[in-house]
Structure 1
Amino acid sequence: MLPKDKLNRINALANKAKKVGLNEAEAKEQSALRKEYLETFRSSMLTTLKGVTIVDPKGNDVTPEKLKKIQNKDPLH
C-alpha cells in the first residue's frame, strides 16, 4: 500500500486536473504516482490470490489451474 501522503497527492492532482488542468511537471508527477500505485495494487492483489483456495459446496478444491500454477511457483506454498 502506498503511504497516505502519496495517496493524498494523487487525489490532489486528480482534483486539480479536473478543475484547472495540470502543468507539464504535475502531469509527469501524476503519471509516475499512478504507475507506482498500480504496481503496488497489483503486487498486493497477487499476494492475496496466492493464498486463495476455491472450494465447491461438496468440499472439492476447484481452484483454477492457472492460479494453482502461480501458487506452486511461490516458495511460501
Structure 2
Amino acid sequence: MLSPEKLARINELAKKKKTVGLTLEEAKEQTSLRKEYLETFRSNMKKTIENVTVIDPEGNDITPDKVKRLRSNKFPN
C-alpha cells in the first residue's frame, strides 16, 4: 500500500495541475507517483482476485478456472 504522504502528494499535484499547472519537475514526480500507485493497486487487486471463491445460489463452487489455476500454481500440493 502506498503511504498516506504519497497519496496526499498525488492529490496535491492533481489539484495544482487543474488550477495553476505543474512545473516540469512536478509533472515528472506526478507521473512517477501515479505509476507507483497503479503498480500497487494492480498487485493488491490480483491478490484479492486470487483469493476469491465464487459460490452460486445452490452452493456450488463456480470460481473461474483461470483463478483456480493461479491459486494452484501459487500453492502447489
> Which of the five TM-score ranges fits, normalised by the shorter chain?
over 0.9
What is the TM-score with the length of structure 1 in the denominator? 0.92
The Cα shift of 1:76 comes to 7.8
* C-alpha spacing 1:45/1:55, structure 2 compared with 1 (3 Å): same
Where structure 2 has 5 or more consecutive residues not aligned to the other structure, the ranges are none
State the superposition RMSD in angstroms: 1.5
Q: Runs in 1 of length 4+ with deviation above 3 angstroms?
A: none
Matched residue count? 77
Structure 1 unaligned regions, length at least 5: none
Give the TM-score normalised by structure 2.
Answer: 0.92
How far 1:75 moved relative to its partner? Answer: 2.6
Aligned to 1:33: 33
Deviates more, 1:6-15 or 1:58-67: 58-67
Alpha-carbon distance between aligned partners in 1 of 2:76 and 2:22, rounded to the nearest angstrom: 44
